[in-house]
Structure 1
Amino acid sequence: MGETRARTIGAAERRARLGVRHRLARGARAGSAEEVAGSLVALHGTDPASVFLAVGARLTEKVGPVADVERALYEDRSLVRMHGMRHTVFVFPSALAPAVQASTTGPAAVRERTTLLKHLADGSTFDAEWLAETERLVLAELAVRGEATGTELGGAVPRLRSTYVYGKGTRQEGVQSVASRVLRVLGMEGRIVRGRPQGTWTSSRFRWAPAVPHSASDSVLDPAEARAELIRGWLGACGPATEADLKWWTGWKVTDVRGALAAVGAVPVTLDEGTGYVLPDDLDPVTDRDPGPWAALLPALDPTPMGWQARDWYLDPEHRAALYDRSGNIGPTVWWDGRIVGGWAQRPDGEIVHRLLTDVGAAAERAIGAETERLAGWIGGGVGGGVGVGSPSDSGSPSDSGAEAGSDSGAGGVRVTPRFRTPLERELSG
């Protein structure tokens, strides 16, 4: 008997899967921040506003994202902000945190602590004993306070205000704060967590709080089992994906990726990019129009456009330069039926504007306009109606959508500027 031929999953079917599984199709939207995070596995947290915007794009009309995300992060703690893949801060479902810690963050924390001790030894008189005592004092202070900013902790624990010389004798030589590195290490080790920020939900000036302890069984999760758990969740949300996609997303060694794929029984399928993988119970066909056409405005660093290394099946390569920065970080995007078709931004006066980079037709333009109004309704910005097609250099062209009038409700009229600026976002926001 001949070998069984791998099933082919084309780009149209992948886009249909994306619409439903990433809660972007209108009938697939979620009722809570926890449902969104559970469906996506991880929300990029490097830019605090992106977490709220990513959830808001996927919630039903009846749910307000700001209050819902703050409840989940700071009251129920059903979501947790922590370092994850590629040394990046993410927001994860709390139930998945032990697997992330054991598979990814824990090993990185070991390297981070080793590096810190080396730098302290090279640039100061501080040693491992001094660092351990400093950490003990920080944890004791947080246990009393409940939560505190780095500045407040520095006032209570003077050791944190110490500095040391980083990269002594090299071109990178400079003065480094002990506080920032110590708090980073404690956070990566899962001993403290980022709490409610100072200011609005767009602020990155977080308070620190003691971590909620996991069960004894979770705390000793085997790294291989943890990698399998993380890959199982990710393939359920983002499969099919190639081995290169998985290696890029996790930041793991290729041997660890292959081991996790084998552990979950991943099945190879044929993609335009080559061999991809899905979970063994995820081979049933999905029709290319299954969720129906949908529109979405997604924020910078949204987990959907940042989910795969190979992106041609949802992004025209000609539009990459306009929508990504030089480090590969994506800016705010406009989506139509599983494809990126443009970008959006918020101007200094609060107005939400967008530009389409491809012709999508009148029905799509109306749907995108409705999503722009929905975003403006809770972010507190104005929005207009006309849309068109343009390029990043077509400044002031009819492809810009925006108007002066708008709502000042929901998020209280805050201004959102992505941490990583991209060419089209810069142009539109200006």
Structure 2
Amino acid sequence: MTTSITWDQANARRLDRQFLATSAPEGVPAAEVVAAMLGAHAQVMSAAELSVGVRGDTLTRADVRKALWEDRTLVKTHGPRGTVHLLPADELPLWCAALSAVPSGTSGQAADVRVTERQADEIVAAIADALDGVHLTIDELSEEVVARTGPWAGDLVMPAFQTLWPRWRQVLHRAGQSGALCFGPNRGRKVTYTRPPLFDPLPPEEAVRELVRRYLHAYGPSTPAWFAKWLAAPGGWAAKLFGRMAEAGEIEKVGFEGAGDAWVAAGDLAFPADRRVRGVRLLPYFDAYGIAAQPRERLFPGDAYRRALAGGQAGNYPVLLVDGVVAGVWHQRRQGRRTTVTVEPLGRLTARQERELGERVERVGAVLEAERSELVVGAVTTGAHA
């Protein structure tokens, strides 16, 4: 008989495993929090710092920066979906092997812009060689890549931000995903790149299976389609992968309210009682939970689907969670050592929820190391990504 899981059960377990039901206590390192999230989206670094910090009782942006640039327990590189993420340094053998094993889709570039697979491999090898033991800006790296490959790699043919980038730049994310490149500390206002410490990647099939198990631990029950969406992988490839794992007894099927058949890691059937998680949370732009938790219509119910998403896409707005689901949006403005957080609830908050919201705003201020935090309840007038 197939086990049936309700939305409230799944959501409660996911929140608990994400340090969103109970915060990580003092002493839990930033890298452990990031591991539980399956990576922190870091296209906007301040958002990544908040994603990690709000999951802890005492974590601040200074702790995240120390883990990244001093202790090197975190690495800033290209992760799921090819986007910039913070990943635990000791998990690079898993991540790089798994991400490199995901089939790439058809390039969105014009035919005269694309590179062949051989050229892509040549560029990645050139990047790894150029970054070994040094930190280079993008312009410095470009010179080194062209010198190691040929003038064709430097052709200004790739449209980007109202300008043209050199041809090799379309492979930058692949270099990050394969372990040839990661971000270094900024040089003034300029981004730098370096090569992460050398490591032996896991065998590709072993890596993708382990990534599925970790994904299901954090976000299950789930489906191959949801996994593919989270990873930006081909749906057919994900379905076959889940099929192989099911045949091997590594994952098992459950019934999931509103979704039908879904999957969990084998034996991982312990779910809390059928109840909703109580409490208030503030999650920043592109927080891992808002992006990965499915079905999205349940996490963003009613008006939240219209107000907190952009055409169904998650991450464009910081969100207010009330009792485990999105119930508003918010915006943070920093002025000197003071931060003002404007929260727009989509429904009426109880007195208890208002008090807790004030505490969450204080926590946002603490993560950002602000001396003073102010809560304003009202309309958020800024647009997506503001």
C-alpha separation between the residues in 1 aligned to 2:384 and 2:137? 35
Correspondence for 1:208 among 177, 190, 193: 193
Tell whether the 8 Å contact from 1:269 to 1:276 is kept in structure 2 after alignment: yes
Tell me the amino acid that sits aligned with residue 138 of structure 2: G
What pairs with 1:267-306 in structure 2 (closer than 5 Å)? 267-272=252-257, 273-288=259-274, 293-306=278-291
What pairs with 1:153-192 in structure 2 (closer than 5 Å)? 153-154=141-142, 159=147, 163-166=154-157, 175-178=164-167, 180-181=169-170, 183-192=172-181
What pairs with 1:373-392 in structure 2 (closer than 5 Å)? 373-379=362-368, 380=370, 383-385=373-375, 387=377
Structure 2, unpaired ranges of 5+: none
Quickly say closer, same or farther: Cα 1:228–1:158, change in 2 above 3 A: closer
What pairs with 1:341-356 in structure 2 (closer than 5 Å)? 341-347=327-333, 349=335, 350-356=339-345
Match of 1:150 in 2: 138
Range 98-107 or range 180-189, more displaced: 180-189
Match of 1:403 in 2: none
Match of 1:35 in 2: 32
Range 309-318 or range 377-386, more displaced: 377-386
What pairs with 1:29-428 in structure 2 (closer than 5 Å)? 29=25, 31-61=28-58, 63-64=59-60, 66-107=61-102, 119=113, 132=122, 136=126, 139=128, 141-143=130-132, 146-154=134-142, 159=147, 163-166=154-157, 175-178=164-167, 180-181=169-170, 183-198=172-187, 205-215=190-200, 219=201, 221-250=202-231, 251-252=233-234, 253=237, 254-263=239-248, 265-272=250-257, 273-288=259-274, 293-326=278-311, 328-330=313-315, 331-347=317-333, 349=335, 350-379=339-368, 380=370, 383-385=373-375, 387=377, 399-400=378-379, 426=382
Quickly say closer, same or farther: Cα 1:156–1:246, change in 2 above 3 A: closer
Tell me the amino acid that sits aligned with residue 293 of structure 1: R
C-alpha separation between the residues in 2 aligned to 1:347 and 1:223? 43
Local SS of the residue matching 2:13: helix
Q: Following TM superposition, by how much is the alpha carbon of 1:355 offset from its aligned partner in structure 2, in angstroms? A: 1.1
C-alpha separation between the residues in 2 aligned to 1:74 and 1:29? 23
Local SS of the residue matching 2:290: coil
Tell whether the 8 Å contact from 1:43 to 1:303 is kept in structure 2 after alignment: yes
Structure 1, unpaired ranges of 5+: 388-398, 401-423
Correspondence for 1:13 among 9, 12, 19: 9
Tell me the amino acid that sits aligned with residue 46 of structure 2: A
Q: Where is the strand percentage greater, Structure 1 or Structure 2?
A: 2
Q: Following TM superposition, by how much is the alpha carbon of 1:14 offset from its aligned partner in structure 2, in angstroms? A: 1.8
Identity %: 24
C-alpha separation between the residues in 2 aligned to 1:143 and 1:224? 28
Tell me the amino acid that sits aligned with residue 151 of structure 1: D
TM-score for both structures, normalised by structure 1: 0.73
After superposition, what is the alpha-carbon deviation per residue over 1:259-316, rounded to whole angstroms, capped at 9, x for unaligned? 34544622222212211212222213412459x6332111111000111342233221
Over the aligned positions, Cα root-mean-square deviation in angstroms equals: 3.7
Tell whether the 8 Å contact from 2:83 to 2:173 is kept in structure 1 after alignment: no
Tell whether the 8 Å contact from 1:345 to 1:352 is kept in structure 2 after alignment: yes
Tell whether the 8 Å contact from 1:39 to 1:237 is kept in structure 2 after alignment: yes
Which has the higher relative contact order, 1 or 2, with Cα contacts under 8 A spaced 6 or more apart?
2
Tell whether the 8 Å contact from 2:157 to 2:167 is kept in structure 1 after alignment: no
Tell whether the 8 Å contact from 2:14 to 2:220 is kept in structure 1 after alignment: no
C-alpha separation between the residues in 1 aligned to 2:23 and 2:174? 42
Which portions of structure 1, spanning 4 or more consecutive aligned residues, are displaced by more than 6 angstroms? 109-112, 115-118, 155-158
Tell whether the 8 Å contact from 1:102 to 1:226 is kept in structure 2 after alignment: yes
Quickly say closer, same or farther: Cα 1:328–1:428, change in 2 above 3 A: closer
Quickly say closer, same or farther: Cα 1:326–1:152, change in 2 above 3 A: same
C-alpha separation between the residues in 1 aligned to 2:310 and 2:123? 41
Local SS of the residue matching 1:313: helix
**What is the number of equivalent residue pairs in this alignment?**
369
Local SS of the residue matching 1:353: strand
